[in-house]
Copies of this chain bind each other. A is one copy, B any other.
Amino acid sequence: MNKQIILKNRPKGKPETSDFEFQNIDEPKIDAGEILLKTKYISVDPYLRGRMRDEESYIPPFQLEKPISSMVVAEVKDSQNKNFIPGDHVVGMLDWKLLQKNSGKNLRKISTDLAPFSAYLGVLGLTGLTAYLALETIGKLRKGETLLVSGAAGAVGSIVCQIGKIKGCHVVGIAGSDEKIQHIQEKFNVDNGINYKKTENMKDAISEKCPEGVDVYFDNVGGETLDAVLQNINKAARIINCGAISIYNETEVPTGPRPEGILIKKSALMQGFLVRDHESKYAEAMTQLGEWLKSGKLKYDETIKNGFENTPDAFISLFDGDNIGKMIVEI
């Protein structure tokens, strides 16, 4: 028997379990050139929230009554394609289905030589590429600068923090619990942390933890945290708008202090980053991430939920900050 998860309703505000539906479907039959895939790991990511809206964006919206898709690690169970044999593992943009067929065209074969398969959804996948390439193309870290990271215990944030340390920066992480702060300091050598849930005045807290001001802010959350950071930026600061999880579920257009005055005063820049714009640099980035991983300079966390039936809940819990590192569903 086969199953899939479809988008039943477009979420209003925070997604709910009832926005998704499980359906029993037939097991696919493969034709010449095709492969049969069994899902092993599913990546759930905050950006998927954007695709659940019915609006034009950098990637087309999910269709109602159609399966959700995201990055998935799958095992080849059957093959009529000369490039794949049963037992191969692949990663790619696939549907939330237990079994599916595929042409193999946009899939990449992966091995466990460097890291377990799940890592290809995180540090060796779009997560790691996002962290690395956003810092390379916008952050342009210089030794001795202060790098501030929000969502610092999250999938992208925790990689960003470590690259900051590798580059010789003073790295300060913002996260939502004392445990997360302690964890990123102990495991990733982050210099200092701010638990935003326990902080009344973020502007002052940032000023205290970043005594020389903020040179690069890697933003995964947007909103009021970004406002507070803007009041602490140095001349020629770079703000990487990578995510805005704090406003993804807003139903009205969120408002806040206008940034243009500060940007002018500080000759600072804010720039949106989408990893898909940088495909030409994936290979170079993967090589560097792989080297750091092999040498132990780069570590990573995963929060693994078990069972296909828990996929929607795993996604929804991202908005509660339940995860440390990459959130992955293991089937």
Listed by A's residue number, 7 A-B pairs whose Cβ atoms lie within 8 Å are A226-B260, A247-B258, A247-B260, A266-B272, A267-B274, A268-B272, A269-B269
Question: Binding site of A, secondary structure by majority: helix, strand, loop or mixed?
Answer: mixed
A267 and B260 form a contact (CB under 8 A): no
Which one of A69-77, A84-92, A106-114, A248-256 is at the B interface? A248-256
- Which residue of the partner chain, among B242, B253, B263, contacts A264 with CB atoms under 8 Å? B242
A269 and B267 form a contact (CB under 8 A): no
- Which residue of the partner chain, among B235, B236, B243, B270, contacts A259 with CB atoms under 8 Å? B270
For residue A223, CB closer than 8 A to chain B, the reply is: yes
B254 and A255 form a contact (CB under 8 A): no
Shortest 8 CB-CB distances between A and B: which pairs?
A263-B272, A269-B271, A264-B272, A222-B260, A241-B263, A241-B260, A254-B258, A244-B260
**Closest residue of B by beta carbon distance from A259:** B259
- Which residue of the partner chain, among B223, B253, B272, contacts A257 with CB atoms under 8 Å? B253
User: Please, how many angstroms separate the alpha-carbon atoms of A20 and B219 in the complex?
Assistant: 43
What residues of B have a CB within 8 angstroms of the CB of A261 in the complex?
A: 222, 244, 247, 254
User: Please, how many angstroms separate the alpha-carbon atoms of A219 and B268 in the complex?
Assistant: 15
How many copies of this chain sit in the oligomeric assembly?
A: 2
User: Please, how many angstroms separate the alpha-carbon atoms of A179 and B86 in the complex?
Assistant: 73
Additional A-B contacts beyond A262-B272, A267-B274 (4; CB < 8 A): A58-B235, A241-B264, A264-B273, A268-B272
A263 and B270 form a contact (CB under 8 A): yes
User: Please, how many angstroms separate the alpha-carbon atoms of A214 and B292 in the complex?
Assistant: 40
Instruction: Bits for A268-290, please: 1 = Cβ < 8 Å to B, else 0.
Output: 11111110010000000000000
For residue A265, CB closer than 8 A to chain B, the reply is: yes
What residues of B have a CB within 8 angstroms of the CB of A265 in the complex?
A: 50, 57-58, 272
What residues of B have a CB within 8 angstroms of the CB of A242 in the complex?
A: 264
What residues of B have a CB within 8 angstroms of the CB of A222 in the complex?
A: 258, 260-261
What residues of B have a CB within 8 angstroms of the CB of A272 in the complex?
A: 260, 262-269
A271 and B263 form a contact (CB under 8 A): yes
What residues of B have a CB within 8 angstroms of the CB of A219 in the complex?
A: 260
**Closest residue of B by beta carbon distance from A266:** B272
A105 to chain B, nearest CB (A): 25
What residues of B have a CB within 8 angstroms of the CB of A257 in the complex?
A: 253-255
**Closest residue of B by beta carbon distance from A227:** B258
**Closest residue of B by beta carbon distance from A265:** B57
**Closest residue of B by beta carbon distance from A231:** B253
**Closest residue of B by beta carbon distance from A236:** B277
Instruction: Bits for A208-228, please: 1 = Cβ < 8 Å to B, else 0.
Output: 000000000001001100100
A95 to chain B, nearest CB (A): 24
User: Please, how many angstroms separate the alpha-carbon atoms of A266 and B56 in the complex?
Assistant: 11
Most buried by B among A222, A243, A264: A264
